[in-house]
């Protein structure tokens, strides 16, 4: 199945904007720079010092604010004409605190910029509205919060007002924008991120600003459509940014758009992610000055017939909508002037690209990925000589792309052809005219030889050639050409060779996925900046490196190799590790004691303690299954407070589970299957409220099942998409590096399984975005649905006692396996309350009594095994139990059971109370035992006595033999005693 392709980001390329002054966002008008004058007016200097006194300045940005020459201070600009302070430019100064009203003494202040500082939720001072000469006020992302003071409406000379609020934490808001109507000189208004959800008059207030040129209200929570004003005053408006507002009514597109087409100067409209639906209105054709139209991420279905009239349109963004139909017919609706940017990815367009380039000849950016476009790639693609970004990923293209398709694309920087049925054929010595930055060629045919044309692409920062049919060794030039590449994906090929020892010194890689190849040899020191390493499913051997050389490594995926040797102590120094999968190797011995700081070489105690604490707090997934690891339950795990996934199955760990195991409060999956753990199951285990997958099968646990099972909250409710295990599953499908959404799934590795009964465990890698699960004797493939699996498996242990009655409160359980233990008592009567149960195995125990009638209630039950117990009485037969396969085998080994599906009729035997048959049998067995012992003793005594009575010679011989035997034993014991006494005397 084709995956949705979100490989490349939205790139409004700078190449286009160089040619489009009108199409770019107009920068806010700025006041002219005023050279400072050395004289400083005393009361203004005092005002600045009062302002400084109230601030926090951890970076000492205001260190120059001392002495008499305040016009020379950092961020202070004075008027050359009169010497008054005219501007305060303190953007990104790292200051915070309270703003003193002493600033009001700066009566000639015309511009103030506090952007990018941190005032930690302080409100915008109301006295800002008293700067009568203020023309430019910039408070963007300064971490102000609360109500935007309406007093700003008193700044009648204001030209530029920017108060965006995109920082985390408390937000700015306004409930009424009427105060804006008094700013009649305002040209630039930016309130992005300010909460305006209750400002219902926003459109009418803005209509009172006749000088407004740039309007930016992105992500403001605007919900109501624009009401029709009595007359239109916004005749100077050039740029409108209203993105990420929830205009989501079915007719919102009409209500929003109708006023825009009457603005004679409008050049840019940005309504991305506004929930717009339907076809764009016909009146759009009136906006002939439009240059840049961004309608990405809506639910639009098509263009109006008047769209051709937009003769100045250069940038068109319609990605991630619901536009369908033939791609060629869609292109016919575009204006003839020649677009520079066309983004249509993530729609439902079909058909083939046209035979001629037509109106597309001027394109710099063509992004039509993730549609249903088919056919060959036309040769005219190579005629788009301005093209810098070509993305055709995730369509149905087929055929061959030759070097002639690409020979004239000298400006090409981004090439995306992934997830089509394409082969790229070029001469081995061909040198392309372009220098790529991003190459996404997943699932294209590049092999079998390693493509030689990549040798010249030494500017590539991100390269993805997953599943490209390469069956060749890594060429020598590879490591030199791609020494500056930050992102590698070469997985799913048959690439052979050895990883060089120079990777750490000569490569800048941050992500390396070379999984599922034929690489061999020993793992060397990896690149220093590496954060993600996946070498799973190769032929690597030898020990892990003593020094990984990558202090920032977050993900280490090495499953299914032949790695041997103990895990080195240096492993503990990877303090940023989050995802670790070393499963299916040959790693022996105990896991290193990451709390033992004495083994860390020359690292200081304080530094090393910090390293260990950081590692313990960051690791999220640890998969060590199917190795030869031994020792007790790893002690360092006690510090892994963020651990979600722990798999130690199929090793030789021993000892008991620690009482501190409940400190792993975030653990969702615990798999200790097939080890040598002993002791009782600690009751603390049931305090882990996030635990939804527990597998302790094939160990030697003893004692009883804890009765506090009700505390396993994650097994009592259906897992949701936001539960902790989903973080593991979705990690790889959502993790991305800048500009490229990469396939970097945190593989949970291959899982072995026993054939003796169902094992609801994960058993396969997720290299193909899937998990294989064995249940009911079958191997099934699970994808994201794995997060909904709830498992409780204690089979093949030495557990005794009764099944806890409250186990029925774990209503989300899908698999319950308690087989092959020594459990006794009755099956809980309300076992049928397990509404989600699919597989229930209680076989090979010592359970007695009748089968509860409630067991026929769970509608999802498809596998049941109660064989080899001491169950008796009639078998419930109805509802779901009728649909089970091989019904007779479910109950085999229970001679007291009767009724369908067994052939034994319940009327053939007396109805005894549970246990009556056993009691009667025990009584009769006891009588016969004692009677037999008595008779045997009497018979044996008389046989010996009568023989000696009548056979005189036999009697003499027997007594002589007895006397000689007695003498020998006595002599031997006397000799030993004398020797021992003599030896003791010498000592």
Domain ranges for the chain: 39-109, 121-465
The per-residue pLDDT for 13 is: 37
Q: What CA–CA distance (Å, rounded) separates 597 from 86? A: 59
Give the separation between CA 45 and CA 330, rounded to whole angstroms.
64
Residue 735: both structure tokens together: 């993790």
Whether omega for the bond prior to residue 944 falls within 30 degrees of 0, making it cis, is no
Residue 485, both tokens? 């590449």
Of residues 366, 358, 299, the one with CA closest to residue 334: 358
The rounded distance, in Å, linking the Cα atoms of 587 and 562 is 8
Tokens of 177: 């924008």
pLDDT band at 234 (very low <50, low <70, confident <90, very high): confident
Cα separation, 694 vs 818, whole angstroms:
12
Distance CA 302, CA 113 (A): 43
Angle among Cα 757, 758, 761 to the nearest 5 degrees reads 135
Supply 423's token pair.
């082969």
Better pLDDT: 508 or 729? 508
Mean pLDDT of the chain: 84
The token pair at 69 is 């020459």
- Categorize the per-residue pLDDT at 45 as very low, low, confident or very high, splitting at 50, 70 and 90: very high
Q: Say which DSSP state 473 is in.
A: B
Provide the pLDDT for residue 232: 74
Rounded average pLDDT over 704-731: 77
Can you say whether the dihedral through the CA atoms of 392, 393, 396, 400 is positive or negative?
positive
pLDDT above 80: residue 763: no
Distance, CA of 644 to CA of 724 (rounded, Å)? 7
Cβ atoms within 10 A of the Cβ of 421, count? 13
Tokens of 305: 């017939």
CA separation for the pair 428, 451 (Å, rounded): 7
In this predicted structure, the answer to whether residue 964 has a pLDDT above a threshold of 70 is no
| Res. 768: pLDDT tops 70 | no
Confidence of residue 223 (pLDDT cuts 50, 70, 90): confident
Pairing of strands 555-557, 532-534: parallel
Q: What tokens appear for 281 in the block?
A: 């209105």
CA angle 413, 535, 727 (to 5 degrees): 85
The answer to whether the beta carbons of residues 111 and 89 sit under 8 Å apart is yes
Task: Please tell me what DSSP assigns to residue 210.
Answer: T
Same CATH topology for 39-109 and 121-465? yes
Contact 212, 237 (CB under 8 A): yes
pLDDT of residue 277: 87
* Residue 760, pLDDT score: 26
Q: Exposed/middle/buried for 653, CB within 10 Å: 0-12, 13-18, 19+?
A: buried
Question: Sign (positive/negative) of CA torsion 450, 503, 489, 625?
Answer: positive
Instruction: Give the separation between CA 868 and CA 879, rounded to whole angstroms.
Output: 24
Cα separation, 733 vs 4, whole angstroms: 11
In terms of CATH architecture, what is 39-109? Alpha-Beta Horseshoe (3.80)
Is 949's pLDDT higher than 90? no
Model pLDDT, residue 178: 95
Instruction: Please report the pLDDT score of residue 132 as a whole number.
Output: 96
CATH placement of domain 121-465: 3.80.10.10
Angle, nearest 10°, between helix axes 952-986 and 916-950?
110
- How would residue 762 be classed by pLDDT, with cut points 50, 70 and 90? very low
Count H helices and E strands in the chain, helices first.
13, 56
Is the pLDDT at 950 greater than 70? The verdict is no
Is residue 21's pLDDT more than 50? no
Give the tokens for residue 344: 């249509």
929 pLDDT band, cuts 50/70/90, is: low
pLDDT digits (tens, 9 = 90+) for 404-452: 999 999 999 999 999 999 999 999 899 999 999 999 999 999 999 999 9
3-state helix, strand, coil in the chain (%, to 5): 25, 20, 55
The DSSP annotation for 585-651 comes to: S--EEEPP-TT-GGGSTT--HHHHHHHHHHHHHH--EEE--SSEEEESS-GGGGG-TT--EEE--SS
Residue 96 half-sphere exposure toward CB, CA atoms < 13 A: 12
The CA distance from 452 to 99, in Å, is 63
Tokens of 569: 């102590």
Q: What is the DSSP string of 498-567?
A: E--TTHHHH---SEEE--SSEEEE---PPPTT--EEE--SSEEEEPPPS----TT--EEE--SSEE-SPP
Look up residue 723 and give its two tokens. Answer: 């539960």
According to DSSP, the residues that pair with 293 across neighbouring strands are 269, 316
pLDDT at 877: 79
Structure tokens at 300: 């639009």
For 813-870, what is each residue's pLDDT tens digit? 999 999 999 999 999 999 999 999 999 999 999 999 999 999 999 999 999 999 999 9
pLDDT digits (tens, 9 = 90+) for 73-104: 999 999 999 999 999 999 999 999 999 999 99
Q: Which two tokens stand for residue 865?
A: 């095994």
pLDDT of res. 22: 36
Select, from the ranges 268-282, 418-432, 934-948, the one with the highest average predicted confidence (pLDDT).
418-432
Q: What is the pLDDT of residue 975?
A: 67
Q: How far apart are CA 858 and CA 838, in angstroms?
A: 8
The answer to whether 161 and 112 have CB atoms below 8 angstroms apart is no
* Residue 39 pLDDT > 80: no
Please give the average per-residue pLDDT across 230-245, as a whole number: 86
Q: Average pLDDT, stretch 112-135?
A: 96
Q: CA dihedral in degrees (901, 904, 906, 911; nearest 10)?
A: -130
- Of 650, 656, 608, nearest to 633 by C-alpha is 656
- C-alpha 82/C-alpha 97 separation (Å) is 31
CA end-to-end span of the chain: 86
Banded pLDDT at 615 (limits 50, 70, 90): low
Position 32 pLDDT exceeds 60: no
Q: Which long-range contacts link 518-522 to residues 24+ away (Cβ below 8 Å)?
A: 518/494, 519/495, 520/496
367-386 tens-digit pLDDT = 999 999 999 999 999 999 99
DSSP strand pairing (778-782 vs 771-775): antiparallel
Residue 752 corresponds to which tokens in the numbers above? 């072995």
> With 90 as the cut, is the pLDDT of residue 744 above it?
no
- pLDDT score recorded for residue 769: 39
User: What is the pLDDT averaged over residues 278-303?
Assistant: 91
Instruction: Pick 661 or 248 by higher pLDDT.
Output: 661
Q: Is the dihedral of CA 620, 625, 628, 634 positive or negative?
A: positive
Residue scoring higher pLDDT (449 or 609) = 449
Question: In three state form, how does the secondary structure of 834-899 look?
Answer: CCCCCEEECCCCCCEECCCHHHHCCCCCCEEECCCCEEEEECCCCHHHHHCCCHHHHCCCCCEEEC
pLDDT band at 522 (very low <50, low <70, confident <90, very high): very high
Residue with tokens 């790292």: 94
Residue 185: pLDDT above 50?
yes
Query: Would you state the pLDDT for residue 775?
Result: 55
Torsion angles phi and psi, residue 224, rounded to 5? -80, 145
Range of 487-491, 756-760, 924-928 with top mean pLDDT: 487-491
- 3-class DSSP state of 241: strand
**By C-alpha distance, which of 496, 498, 441 is closest to 471?**
496
What's the 3-state SS for 645-668?
A: EEECCCCEEEECCCHHHHHCCCCC
Q: How far apart are CA 10 and CA 341, in angstroms?
A: 11
DSSP per residue, 264-321: TT--EEE-TTS--EEEPPGGGGG-TT--EEE--SSEEEE--GGGGG-TT--EEE--SS
The predicted-structure confidence for 526-584, as pLDDT tens digits, reads as follows: 999 999 999 999 999 999 999 999 999 999 999 999 999 999 988 888 989 999 999 99
Mean pLDDT, residues 684-694? 92
User: 726: helix, coil or strand?
Assistant: helix
pLDDT above 90 (res 655) = yes
Task: Give yes or no for residue 340 having a pLDDT over 70.
Answer: yes
């Amino acid at each position: 199945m084709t995956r949705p392709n979100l490989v490349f980001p939205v790139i409004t390329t700078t190449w286009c904007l160089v040619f489009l002054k009108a199409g770019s966002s107009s920068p806010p008008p700025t006041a002219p720079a005023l050279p400072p004058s050395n004289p400083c007016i005393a009361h203004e200097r005092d005002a600045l010092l009062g302002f400084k006194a109230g601030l926090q300045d951890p970076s000492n940005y205001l260190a120059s604010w001392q002495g008499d020459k305040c016009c020379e201070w950092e961020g202070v600009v004075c008027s050359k004409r009169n010497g008054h302070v005219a501007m305060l430019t303190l953007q990104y100064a790292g200051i915070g605190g309270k703003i003193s009203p002493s600033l009001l003494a700066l009566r000639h202040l015309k511009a103030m910029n506090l952007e990018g500082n941190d005032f930690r939720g302080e409100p915008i001072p109301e006295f800002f509205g008293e700067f009568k000469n203020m023309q430019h006020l910039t408070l963007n992302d300064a971490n102000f919060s609360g109500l935007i003071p309406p007093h700003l409406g008193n700044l009648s000379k204001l030209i530029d007002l920017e108060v965006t609020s995109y920082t985390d934490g408390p937000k700015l808001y306004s409930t009424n924008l009427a105060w804006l109507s008094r700013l009649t000189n305002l040209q630039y208004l930016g309130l992005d991120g300010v909460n305006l959800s209750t400002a219902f008059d926003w459109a009418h207030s803005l209509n009172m600003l006749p000088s407004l040129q740039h309007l930016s209200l992105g992500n403001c929570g605007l919900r109501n459509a624009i009401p029709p004003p009595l007359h239109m005053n916004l005749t100077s408006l050039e740029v409108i940014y209203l993105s990420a507002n929830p205009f989501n009514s079915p007719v919102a597109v009409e209500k929003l758009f109708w006023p825009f087409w009457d603005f004679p100067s409008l050049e840019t409209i940005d309504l991305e992610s506004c929930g717009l639906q339907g076809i764009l209105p016909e009146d759009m054709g009136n906006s002939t000055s439009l240059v840049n139209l961004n309608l990405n991420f809506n639910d639009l279905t098509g263009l109006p017939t008047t769209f051709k009239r937009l003769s100045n349109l250069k940038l068109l963004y319609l990605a991630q909508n619901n536009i369908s139909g033939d791609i060629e017919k869609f292109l016919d609706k575009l204006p003839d002037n020649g677009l520079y940017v066309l983004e249509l990815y993530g729609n439902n367009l079909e058909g083939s690209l046209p035979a001629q380039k037509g109106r597309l000849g001027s394109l710099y950016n063509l992004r039509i990925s993730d549609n249903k476009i088919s056919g060959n790639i036309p040769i005219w693609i190579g005629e788009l000589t301005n093209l810098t970004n070509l993305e055709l990923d995730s369509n149905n293209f087929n055929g061959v792309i030759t070097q002639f398709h690409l020979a004239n694309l000298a400006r090409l920087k981004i090439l995306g052809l992934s997830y089509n049925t394409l082969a790229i054929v070029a001469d081995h010595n061909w040198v392309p005219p372009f220098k790529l930055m991003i190459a996404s060629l997943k699932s294209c045919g590049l092999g079998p030889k390693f493509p030689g044309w990549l040798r010249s692409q030494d500017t590539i920062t991100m390269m993805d050639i997953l599943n490209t049919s390469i069956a060749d060794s890594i060429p020598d030039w590879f490591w030199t050409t791609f020494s500056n590449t930050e992102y590698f994906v070469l997985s799913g090929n048959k690439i052979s060779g050895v990883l060089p020892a120079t990777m750490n010194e000569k490569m800048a890689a941050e992500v390396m996925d070379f999984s599922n190849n034929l690489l061999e040899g020993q793992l060397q020191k990896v690149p220093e900046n590496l954060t993600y390493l996946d070498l799973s499913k190769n032929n690597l051997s030898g020990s892990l490196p003593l020094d990984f050389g990558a202090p920032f490594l977050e993900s280490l995926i090495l499953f299914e190799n032949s790695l041997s040797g103990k895990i080195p102590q240096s492993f503990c120094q990877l303090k940023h590790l989050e995802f670790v999968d070393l499963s299916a190797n040959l790693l022996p011995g105990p896991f290193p004691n990451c709390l033992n700081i004495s083994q860390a070489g020359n690292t200081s105690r304080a530094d090393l303690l910090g390293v260990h604490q950081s590692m313990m707090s960051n690791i999220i997934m640890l998969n060590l299954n199917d190795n030869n690891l031994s020792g007790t339950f790893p002690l360092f795990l006690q510090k892994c407070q963020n651990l979600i996934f722990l798999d130690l199955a199929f090793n030789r760990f021993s000892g008991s589970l620690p009482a501190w195991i409940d400190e792993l409060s975030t653990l969702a999956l615990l798999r200790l299957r097939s080890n040598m753990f002993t002791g009782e199951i600690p009751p603390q285990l049931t305090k882990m409220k996030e635990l939804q997958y527990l597998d302790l099968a094939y160990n030697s646990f003893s004692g009883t099942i804890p009765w506090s099972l009700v505390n396993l909250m994650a097994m009592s409710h259906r897992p949701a998409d936001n539960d902790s295990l989903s973080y593991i599953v979705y990690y790889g499908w959502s993790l991305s590096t800048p500009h490229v959404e990469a396939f970097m799934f945190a593989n949970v590795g291959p899982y072995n399984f026993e054939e003796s009964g169902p094992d609801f465990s994960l058993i396969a890698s997720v290299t193909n975005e899937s998990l294989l699960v064995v249940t009911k004797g079958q191997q099934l493939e699970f994808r994201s649905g794995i997060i909904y699996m709830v498992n409780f498996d204690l089979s093949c242990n030495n557990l005794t006692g009764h099944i806890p009655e409250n186990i029925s409160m774990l209503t989300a359980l899908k698999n319950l396996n308690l087989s092959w233990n020594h459990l006794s008592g009755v099956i809980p009567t309300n076992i049928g309350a397990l509404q989600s149960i699919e597989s229930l195995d209680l076989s090979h125990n010592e359970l007695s009594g009748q089968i509860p009638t409630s067991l026929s209630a769970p509608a999802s039950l498809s596998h049941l095994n109660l064989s080899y117990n001491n169950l008796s009485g009639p078998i419930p037969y109805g509802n779901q139990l009728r649909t089970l396969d091989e019904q007779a085998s479910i109950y085999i080994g229970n001679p007291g059971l009767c009724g369908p599906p067994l052939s034994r009729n319940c009327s053939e035997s007396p109805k005894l109370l549970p246990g009556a048959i056993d009691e009667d049998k025990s009584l009769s067995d006891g009588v016969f035992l004692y009677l037999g012992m008595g008779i045997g003793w009497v018979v044996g005594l008389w046989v010996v006595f009568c023989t000696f009575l009548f056979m005189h010679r036999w009697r003499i011989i027997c007594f002589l033999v007895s006397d000689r035997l007695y003498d020998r034993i006595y002599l031997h014991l006397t000799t030993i005693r004398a020797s021992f006494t003599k030896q003791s005397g010498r000592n």
